[in-house]
């Protein structure tokens, strides 16, 4: 009996191994283009399309831009080269960006990356005479701004961080005095080319067969991230938006190209607005502070002018409710609540790039008394730029809705696919997003999807955007792109 | 050989079917003769393995005997993500479900005592490195060994009953997965042993004519309670690194409790013996898997990762004290058909087939049990050099129906803790046994 066992066990084991050699196979459905042609792909957009992340444009972000991820999928059905205006390895940190430096008392701390930048020089604005008192002006030199290493070869990714829909026909937007990211890719021979003209030139030269179009976020984002306080960041008129969107899409589709139009997400769900408020609310509630005094809007005037506003602690938005949103930029100053301080105002004033002699007149114009208790008195309210209040949110929502109906109508008129980024990001903000068993959320730093500026996605965030766009393409054109494993793309890099 | 030494010896080749050989993580490998016939046995009284299939039939097994069998199960599984990418293969593991029976009783008496040792549940799977589902599961090994004292009584040559105490003598679970930390993947291992628990099985066996037999059997559920299992963590940020404070404080647990159901099973079987040489069996069984609703872990203990121990910072995995994952299994039917032909006094040939319905519903498939409806084919042969000695070889092949779930399925079921994609598995189970009767 033992003998038999001794011989048959290895024999049977061997038999098992031999038979086990037949590994079941799964026929991977080959990607098919459906009714669209992905040979030449061009992307039009702003920072989101450029791969901007963590408050800057840098090589890693560019390589993980959603158009670059899309182009890799398109390559499986005959898509050609996709050229991005990449920063070189030697200048891989591009404009510089924020990195996570560590944690202080459990809260993340960020630090700027200032090495390996792609700064080729500085643009110094011309001297300007600035009025400092009635009848008195002083010559003032505004602060210099960096200019980035140029990339003048033809590019497929035309994205320009910071661009508004309103900007696309502005001559000089690509000059040294304009947007440094557009300036970077604008041909030296034609420095006043507008963005729309650049699209036209690209369509003529590259003859794109497919495009993505995601423009217009900044037409409302600039207003929102400055808490509705900046006189220069206003919400673009909806008619202007519609007109220019239609012009851009007319150009893009002029050669018969197919494509995807993306809507504008509701900005109130991004970590830039959702991170600070809940913590503040908990602190105020614990200390039994019933409410705060804020400034609202961009209008000057003192405590009696109507630009002061009382908000109740319960009205600060957190998971349990409330409306008022605090910006990420408010975070360093909220520890000063209840104390006399000028620090928040110095920070706000510095954003205006005006000479220091104007600081006192600025405070006077808005009736701020820095010896009053910060945030709890009409004399020293929380600056408007730190709060996107309910009225301002209403303006943002109205504009977003108008822009999105214009974009949807245009997509439909041209027979294009639609990626409804608004409903997608709303769902992410409400429910999170699982990717292969990993739970991602819209939370700052820990949520994996949004980077350190609280506005722009991480590579993981861009990967899920690419996957959603591919779904929209599949639905419209009958193609069968499978997307990428988003977990192969990082969230926020921890030190 | 006492049960205990056998158990210890079994420890070296102890196992469970690589990807369990019946629905869910059930293993229906009770005896080599039965395996060769598609796994039928409830309506038959072939040998001592009746204690597994239908304890009521034991008294109808004329001779006392001892028998031992072992199976060498090899699962070949393939997964492909719904995001495409390479095929991910299960690493080939050979695991060895075994069975051991001994029965005693007066030769012409109406009753029999018996002891059975077998592995009715289990699963061992190890996925390819870097596979898409690594944050759900990288590796699992579930083992359960039942020891079953049995008594069977024949009221007449046409009617017998039997009952056994099913004792979960050994049960263990080792479940591993990667953790998606922002500093890179870490690894979590949960390893626990089950408490001793007792259930029962009962059976009735009828033989209305010499050419027909009918059996009904039932085995009760046992809850395998894992208490105080070990939690081990690897790959967390090194203490003192800038991220260690923020991340490691979310992982303080040192032990876990959990419960896995080893579900009840009811079966009915028919045996037909048209000639002396030919036996045909037909079984239908129902495994009551719907009792398996969630897989829950409760974490406790404190490894000091969050600083001085407080109730609030103890027992955390990913910042939580408990984890709960939907299973929502459904009762699973199986139909089995098989026969044997006594070619000569020394040689018996067998063939069989079965169809096992999946216990896991669409959109609930987890990597730990890539369950699907299965088509099973079996063959077997017995060589009997003397009437007292039988050597039984069996071979079972299972083909799982290809099964796909999409991310949308997972979202709508609230089961996004697992992965979307397509699973396909084949299992090859050669086995051998020896019977000695006296």
Which domains are assigned to chain B? 3-437 (2.40.160.60)
pLDDT at B42: 97
Rounded distance between C-alpha atoms, residue A363 and residue A365, angstroms: 5
Question: For A357, left (φ over 0), alpha (ψ -120 to 50), or beta?
Answer: alpha
Q: Kindly report the average pLDDT of chain B as a whole number.
A: 92
Rounded distance between C-alpha atoms, residue A333 and residue A343, angstroms: 8
Tokens 């069968």 found at: A480
Q: Please say if the pLDDT value at position B3 is more than 70.
A: no
Chain B residue numbers with beta carbons less than 8 Å from the beta carbon of A12 are 72, 393, 430-432
B368 in contact with A, Cβ within 8 Å: no
Beta bridge partners of A53: A56
**Secondary structure (3-state) at A334:** helix
Q: How many interchain CB pairs under 8 A, A with B? A: 132
Q: Please say if the pLDDT value at position B5 is more than 50.
A: no
Q: What is the mean pLDDT of residues A334-351?
A: 94
Structure tokens at A226: 């400055």
Chain A residue numbers with beta carbons less than 8 Å from the beta carbon of B434 are 1, 4-5
Structure tokens at B430: 């050669």
Rounded distance between C-alpha atoms, residue A392 and residue A297, angstroms: 8
B429 in contact with A, Cβ within 8 Å: yes
pLDDT at A324: 96
* Three-state SS sequence of A423-442: HHHHHHHHHCEEECCEEEEC
Structure tokens at A33: 């283009």
Q: Note whether A436 contacts B411, CB cutoff 8 Å.
A: no
A304 in contact with B, Cβ within 8 Å: no
Which domains are assigned to chain A? 41-272+392-488 (3.40.50.1110), 273-390 (no CATH)
Q: Kindly report the average pLDDT of chain A as a whole number.
A: 93
pLDDT at B291: 95
Confidence of residue B15 (pLDDT cuts 50, 70, 90): very low
Rounded distance between C-alpha atoms, residue A77 and residue B149, angstroms: 65
- Spatial neighbors of A63 by CB under 8 A, at least 6 apart, are A51, A84, A86
Rounded distance between C-alpha atoms, residue B281 and residue A149, angstroms: 81
Instruction: Classify strands B255-262 and B197-209 as parallel, antiparallel or unpaired.
Output: unpaired
A104 in contact with B, Cβ within 8 Å: no
Query: Over the stretch B133-167, which tens digit does the pLDDT of each residue have?
Result: 999 999 999 999 999 999 999 999 999 999 999 99
Nearest CA distance, A241 vs chain B (angstrom): 34
For the entire predicted model, the pTM comes to 0.91
**Do B148 and B166 form a contact (C-beta atoms < 8 A)?**
yes
Q: Note whether B135 contacts A437, CB cutoff 8 Å.
A: yes
Asked if this assembly's ipTM is beyond 0.90, the reply is no
The count of other CB atoms within 10 Å of the CB of residue A202 is 20
The count of other CB atoms within 10 Å of the CB of residue B227 is 13
Q: Which of residues 15-54 of A touch B (CB under 8 A)?
A: 15-17, 19-20, 22-26, 28, 31
Which of B428, B429, B431, B435 is the best mutation test for A, with the most CBs of A within 10 A? Answer: B428
Picking from A492, A483, A421, the residue whose alpha carbon sits closest to that of residue A53 is A492
Rounded distance between C-alpha atoms, residue A110 and residue A452, angstroms: 8
């Amino acid at each position: 009996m033992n003998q038999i066992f001794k011989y048959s066990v290895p024999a049977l084991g061997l038999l098992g191994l031999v038979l086990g050699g037949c590994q079941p196979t799964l026929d991977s459905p080959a990607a098919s283009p459906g009714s669209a042609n992905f040979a030449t792909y061009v992307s039009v957009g702003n920072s989101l399309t450029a791969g901007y992340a963590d408050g800057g444009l840098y090589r890693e972000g560019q390589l993980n831009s959603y158009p670059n991820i899309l182009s890799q999928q398109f390559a499986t059905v005959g898509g050609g080269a996709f050229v991005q205006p990449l920063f070189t390895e030697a200048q891989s940190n591009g404009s510089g960006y924020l990195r996570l430096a560590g944690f202080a008392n459990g809260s993340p701390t960020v630090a700027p990356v200032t090495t390996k930048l792609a700064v080729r020089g500085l643009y110094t604005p011309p001297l300007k005479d600035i009025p400092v008192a009635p009848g008195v002006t002083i010559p003032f030199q505004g602060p210099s701004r960096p200019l980035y290493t140029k990339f003048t070869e033809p590019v497929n990714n035309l994205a320009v961080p910071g661009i508004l829909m309103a900007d696309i026909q502005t001559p000089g937007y690509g000059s040294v005095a304009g947007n440094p990211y557009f300036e970077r890719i604008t041909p030296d021979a034609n420095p006043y080319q507008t963005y729309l003209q650049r699209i036209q030139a690209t369509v003529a030269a590259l003859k794109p067969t497919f495009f993505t179009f995601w423009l217009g976020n900044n037409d409302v984002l600039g207003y929102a991230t400055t808490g509705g306080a900046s006189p220069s960041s206003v919400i673009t008129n909806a008619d202007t938006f519609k007109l220019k969107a239609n012009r851009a899409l007319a150009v893009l589709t002029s050669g018969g190209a197919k494509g995807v139009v993306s809507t504008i997400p509701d900005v109130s769900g991004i970590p830039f607005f959702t991170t600070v408020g809940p913590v503040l609310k908990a602190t105020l509630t614990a200390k039994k502070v019933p409410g705060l005094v804020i400034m609202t809007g961009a209008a000057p005037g003192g405590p009696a002018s109507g630009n002061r506003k009382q908000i109740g602690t319960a009205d600060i938005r957190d998971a349990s409710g409330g409306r008022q949103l605090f910006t990420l930029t408010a975070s360093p100053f909220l520890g000063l609540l209840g104390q006399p301080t000028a620090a928040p105002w110095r920070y706000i004033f510095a954003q205006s790039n005006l000479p220091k002699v104007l600081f006192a007149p600025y405070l006077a114009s808005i009736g701020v008394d820095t010896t009053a208790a910060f945030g709890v008195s009409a004399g020293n309210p929380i600056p408007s730029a730190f709060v996107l209040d309910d009225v301002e949110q209403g303006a943002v929502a109205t504009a977003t809705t108008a822009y999105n109906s214009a974009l949807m109508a245009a997509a439909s008129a041209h027979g294009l696919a639609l990626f409804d980024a608004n409903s997608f990001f709303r769902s992410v903000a409400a429910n999170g997003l699982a990717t292969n068993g990993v739970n991602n959320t819209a939370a700052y730093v820990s949520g994996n999807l949004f980077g350190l500026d609280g506005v722009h996605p991480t590579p993981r965030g861009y990967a899920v955007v690419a996957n959603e766009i591919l779904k929209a393409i599949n639905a419209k054109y009958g193609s069968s792109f499978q997307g990428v494993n988003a977990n192969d793309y990082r969230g926020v890099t921890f030190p | 050989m006492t049960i205990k030494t056998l158990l210890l010896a079994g420890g070296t080749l102890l196992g469970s079917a690589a990807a369990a050989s019946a629905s869910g993580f059930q293993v229906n490998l009770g005896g080599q003769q039965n395996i060769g016939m598609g796994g039928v046995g409830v309506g038959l009284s072939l040998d001592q393995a009746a204690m597994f299939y239908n304890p009521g039939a034991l008294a109808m097994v004329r001779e006392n005997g001892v028998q031992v069998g072992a199976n060498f199960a090899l699962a070949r599984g393939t997964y492909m993500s719904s995001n495409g990418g390479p095929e991910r293969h299960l690493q080939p593991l050979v695991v060895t479900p075994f069975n051991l029976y001994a029965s005693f009783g007066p030769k012409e008496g109406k009753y029999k005592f018996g002891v059975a040792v077998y592995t009715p549940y289990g699963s061992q799977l190890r996925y390819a490195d870097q596979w898409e589902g690594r944050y759900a599961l990288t590796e699992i090994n579930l083992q359960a060994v039942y020891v079953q004292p049995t008594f069977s009584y024949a009221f007449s040559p046409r009617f017998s009953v039997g009952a056994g105490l099913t004792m979960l003598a050994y049960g263990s679970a080792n479940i591993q997965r990667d953790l998606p930390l922002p500093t890179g993947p870490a690894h979590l291992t949960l390893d626990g042993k089950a408490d001793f628990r007792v259930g029962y099985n009962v059976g009735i066996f009828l033989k209305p004519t010499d050419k027909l037999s009918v059996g009904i059997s039932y085995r009760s559920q046992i809850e395998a309670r894992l208490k105080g299992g070990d939690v081990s963590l690897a790959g967390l940020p090194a203490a003192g690194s800038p991220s260690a404070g923020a991340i490691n404080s979310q992982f303080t647990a040192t032990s876990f409790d959990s419960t896995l159901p080893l579900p009840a099973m009811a079966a009915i079987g028919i045996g037909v013996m048209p000639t002396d040489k030919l036996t045909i069996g037909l079984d239908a069984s129902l495994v009551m898997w719907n009792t398996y609703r969630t897989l829950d872990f409760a974490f406790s203990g404190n490894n000091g990762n969050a600083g001085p121990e407080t109730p609030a910072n103890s027992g955390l995995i990913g910042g939580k004290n408990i984890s709960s994952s939907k299973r929502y299994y459904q009762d699973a039917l199986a139909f089995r058909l098989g026969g044997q032909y006594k070619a000569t006094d020394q040689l018996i040939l067998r063939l069989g087939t079965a169809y096992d319905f999946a216990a896991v519903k669409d959109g609930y498939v987890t990597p730990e049990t890539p369950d699907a409806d299965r088509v099973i084919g079996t063959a077997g042969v017995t060589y009997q050099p003397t009437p007292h000695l039988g050597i039984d070889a069996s071979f079972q092949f299972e083909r799982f129906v290809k099964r796909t779930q999409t991310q949308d399925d997972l979202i709508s079921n609230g089961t996004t803790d697992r992965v979307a994609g397509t699973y396909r598995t084949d299992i090859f189970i050669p086995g051998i046994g020896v019977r000695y009767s006296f």
